[in-house]
Amino acid sequence: MDDMKNKSDEYWKSKLTPEQYHIMREKGTEAPFTGKYYDNHRSGMYECAACGHKLFSSDTKFDSGTGWPSFDKPVNLENVELLEDKSMLMNRTEVICKNCGSHLGHVFNDGPKETTGLRYCINSCALKFKPEEQKKE
């Protein structure tokens, strides 16, 4: 398989929108309550917008009130990479797509206590939503 982590900046600039490039390759963030998925309640799978890697199921999405899509766990822990992030005078844990190395958001330990206790706070533009197929009757 092609090594997505070592693609050139030119490749990513041609594949991503300017906002996606800023967030996913330069580790930016979108403003709260502006992303297309923070209030999405449909069933389906959230994939990496850069490479299509499956990241989060709608079954783990919850309303955190923060303005970003929030999940209590990834679809598979092997699909994300967690890195220490000490930028902006904070100590956080960055969430990265393990397949392509794109920045997705951060994970915090203030999620639902009845599940994992984690909140994966993810930028909408770093995601592509694939709705669950409707069952034909």
Give the residue numbers annotated as catalytic, written as ranges.
Answer: 121
Cβ neighbourhood burial of 128 (10 Å; 0-12, 13-18, 19+): middle
Cβ neighbourhood burial of 123 (10 Å; 0-12, 13-18, 19+): buried
- Which tokens in the block code for residue 6? 């070592």
Length in residues, the chain: 137
